[in-house]
Structure 1
Amino acid sequence: MSDRTEIGQATEDGGCLRWVMAVPLGMLHLLAAGLCYSALTIRPSGVWDKDAYGAITLLCFLTIAVGVIALVITLAPPTVRRAMGPWWLLPPLILSAIAVARWALGG
């Protein structure tokens, strides 16, 4: 009888942990998406426009940094990894890949 209550408590804890971790991870994903969008929308006026190239580089770097933070939060603790599932890894990986591509192309 005690095994069933332990399983029920573990399931309830996973659901609570999922909600608790979804808020900061969702905020980090939105922040990374906004930074990536900003990096994609900046258009340099010419090869002489060093400020625009610097802004693109900075925004791409910040997108990658926020994506790494989100990945570490999702992957580091095993309890979070089990509760959240693999779908929470996709947004930071995709956004970081886009940022790397934008950074490499430069403009």
Structure 2
Amino acid sequence: MVFEEKMIMNGEPEDEEEEEEEEEMVDPIEAVRQKCEASEHCAHAQERLEQCETRVGSRSSTEEDCTEELFDFLHARDHCVRFRLTINKNSGFNSAASTFIKTLI
């Protein structure tokens, strides 16, 4: 009983230290997606999506939605992500080619 009271009074400093040491988990694919969204092909698809959203948002009543533009953008981004992840996975190239490709990624 005395031990429990000391624990309650003093708290558990070990837990606080562990919480401070933990870093926030980051999904690595998010970084690749952001790089791909900045690529020329994805930027073009994203521009078309934004134009559609502006056009649809400016009208009071319309049957148009931006589903096609959204799917085009997601397809372009996912294609880029797949390409970049495949390049990283297949690093069986010689070192000069591998270094060159990594600069593109």
TM-score by length of 2: 0.41
User: Higher helix share goes to which structure?
Assistant: 1
Task: Pick 1 or 2: higher relative contact order, CA cutoff 8 A, min separation 6.
Answer: 1
TM-score by length of 1: 0.40
- Greater gyration radius: 2
